[in-house]
Amino acid sequence: MSKFLEVTNLNVTFPTADGDVHASNEVSYSVGLGETLAIVGESGSGKSVSNLAVMGLHNVTRTKITGSAILNLSDGPVDLISASPETVRRLRGKEMSMIFQDPMSALHPFFSIGDQIAEAWHLYNKGSKSDGIKKAIEMLDLVGIPDASVRVHDFPHQFSGGMRQRAMIAMALVNNPSLLIADEPTTALDVTVQSQILKLLKDLQNEFNMAIILITHDLGVVAEVADRICVMYGGRIVEDASVEDIFYRPEHPYTLGLLNSVPRITSGLSHRLRAIPGQPPSLINLPSGCSFQPRCEYSSRVSSGACTESVPALNDKGSGHLSRCHLDIADLNDLVKDKA
Amino acid sequence: MLTYVTRRLLYTILLLAIVSLTIFFIFDLIPVDPARLVCSKQCTPSLVEANRHRLGLDVSVFEQWWRFMVGLFAGRTFGEEGIAITCAAPALGYSFSRHECVTTIVSQAFPYTLSLALGAFVLWLSVGISLGVLSARKKGKFADRAASVFVLVGTSLPTFITGILVVLFIVLQFNLVSPLELGNWHNPVTEPLGWLQTFFFPCATLALAYAATYTRFTRSNVIETSSEDFIRTARAKGLSEKVILRKHTLRAALAPIVTIAGLDFAGLLGGAIITEGIFGLNGLGKLSIKAVTQTYDLPIIVATTLIASAFVLLMNLIVDIAYAFIDPRVRTS
């Protein structure tokens, strides 16, 4: 059965004076209605770039995009990569929406919150100005803004960070889209507000049966809301599995490294966090073979230097758990046990 | 909002009072004695003293300023008895070189200056903003390059060169405007064509340098605003590029232009000395430069200086109020 969004072999390249930046390489993922896919990775791993390509928000003259991103709408599938910019524009805000990391700079400082939400609504609905404001109040109420009928006339600077993100969510969902891409929606917020926003997204998903793509570098956020996780590194997906599998049975050394660098409540006080040594790779000159190989502590276990010679394929090593590594899983599990 | 406007208005009035007092103190320090200047060749100390009294210069600077202020609201009489001359409010002083009330002289000159400033303002804003937006949208393309040539030419050509070239070619060579007609006053309402004939080329000359600066400023503002997160949000909403540019980008990009445009316009209302001089327009600029360099007519200099600074202060006030309407962040803080 096809999912709502199916991204296949997506490549995003930015030609620069120093050479092509391969921000996203052969990226494939999919997300169904009512499902949350988390895309995890460090800065520059290509997680935002891939999703901006899906939304058609890259500058076409300065970006090379290949591959496909099929949106399975009720009236037939649309490939967002090959479709005309105008076609994709008419899907934005209606079928797919996006919210961003910094809700302060993402809202226009000169227009009231209500006007900005109403503007999105008017784009796809016929109605008077007051209908738009009514809809905006309804949406603000839905996302948990108190006194929505008063606050609707406020400007972004009169809202707190958490409220601004709620307003962004209200704006993104005003036309009831089937896909919401949330690009680090909680990164700029403090921890208590973070969990409120995540809970809100989860509640809204249950109510409207949306597909959500959650882009984040915070594994804690992922554990809370995601159904499935894609781990990205150096513009490639290195592991793609269910939340359970990623947290309890990671198969890629990078995922393992990420998990080791997060404090666990069970590990006790004496346990020191282990950082992954080295630096993320340059996206202009990706290392030959596996892009994680220079930082990988297990690469020596793989015979005949395969790690430096060929990019490992994203293999299904068991019931929908995909991993891009030359190492045998049995070996990795043994190694992990040794350490523990 | 109302308290904001009231506060700014009171502040402006206070500032005007301080500026005018400062002007009086500065001109008191200038080593030119008007009482001696108006004296004939057979000048005696007693005549100078009499003149000084007649001109109202025999009292302290503060007293002079106070009389000026009162005169502004109540009118003022210069001299006594038979030779007394009364200038009606708002009295800006009495010109001893032209034997006329300064208010009369200024009100004759002001229409020229206003026409020139307003015409140039409209020209440079429309040309500068549209070229700036065009070159920002076509960044790196032919239109952008052409606009940058215009910017380079406009900013590097001083007004006295452009003005002279315009007079030389357009007036003398091609006779688009008759040299005899140059500088004649026409009422813009009753004779719009005559007015255009007098003012179009001076306005264009004056507008050129401004248009170039505004093109560059608009271009960089539009480019900068286009990369703002809220523009990406507008795009993510599904708005068309046209709406994004017209509503979202321009609103934010042009807000700072309101400030500088207001101040540039205010500066010109005090008189455009070079342009007025070249095209023979008897505006405030020509009036004040003549008073400074030829007649040492202190009352005229005081009045024109004060008018120029009053325009700057007033425009500042208008810009601040306009800004509060444009940017809601100013309104509430």
Q: Tell me, what's the pLDDT at A338?
A: 58
B235 in A contact zone (CB under 8 Å): yes
Residue A336's pLDDT is 65
B104-332 placed in CATH 1.10.3720.10: yes
Q: Considering CB atoms only, which of B237, B252, B332 is closest to A110?
A: B252
Beta-carbon count within 10 A of B185 CB: 16
Average pLDDT over residues A55-73: 92
Question: Is the pLDDT assigned to residue A214 strictly greater than 90?
Answer: yes
Residues of B in contact with A112 (CB under 8 A): 328
Q: Are A51 and A181 in contact (CB under 8 A)?
A: yes
In sequence order, what DSSP letters do the residues of B262-294 get, joined into one string?
A: HHHHHHHHT--HHHHHHHT--SHHHHHHHIIII
For residue A102, the chain B residues in CB contact (below 8 A) are 229
The span from the CA of B308 to the CA of B24, in Å, is 15
Q: Could you report the per-residue pLDDT of A115-158, keeping only the tens digit for each?
A: 999 999 999 999 999 999 999 999 999 999 999 999 999 999 99
By C-alpha distance, the chain A residue nearest B228 is: A105
> Which pLDDT value is given to residue B30?
82
Which among A306, A285, A186, A274 has a CA at the least distance from the CA of A235? A285
Residues 6+ apart with CB under 8 A from A249: A241, A321, A333
What does pLDDT average to over chain A? 89
Q: How many CB atoms lie within 10 A of CB B59?
A: 13
Question: Hey, what are A79's tokens?
Answer: 């490939």
For residues A27-47, average pLDDT: 93
Return the pLDDT at B121. 97
- Residue B138, Cβ density class (10 Å: 0-12 exposed, 13-18 middle, ≥19 buried): middle
pLDDT of residue B197: 87
| pLDDT tens for each residue of chain B, 333 residues long | 788 889 889 999 999 999 999 999 998 888 878 788 777 777 888 888 888 887 788 889 999 999 999 999 998 888 776 777 888 888 998 887 888 899 999 999 999 999 999 999 999 999 999 999 999 999 989 999 999 999 999 999 999 999 999 999 888 888 888 877 788 898 989 999 989 988 999 999 999 999 999 999 999 999 999 999 999 999 999 999 999 999 999 999 999 999 999 999 999 998 899 999 999 999 999 999 999 888 888 889 999 999 999 999 999 999 988 888 888 888 765
CB of B230 less than 8 A from some CB of A: yes
To the nearest whole Å, the CA of A165 is away from the closest chain B CA by: 12
Question: Is pLDDT of A12 > 90?
Answer: yes
Q: What predicted TM-score, i.e. pTM, was given to this entire model?
A: 0.86
Mean pLDDT of the region A21-31: 93
Domain coordinates in residue numbering, chain B: 19-91, 104-332
Partners of B248 on chain A (C-beta within 8 Å) are 108
**Closest CA–CA distance from residue B9 to any residue of chain A (Å):** 25
Q: Looking at A100-104, A192-196, A315-319, which range is the least confident one? A: A315-319
Number of neighbouring beta carbons within 10 Å of residue A43? 8
Nearest chain B residue (CA) to A157? B329
pLDDT tens-digit series, residues B52-95: 887 788 889 999 999 999 999 998 888 776 777 888 888 998 88
Q: What percent of chain A has pLDDT over 90?
A: 60
At residue B332, the pLDDT reads 65
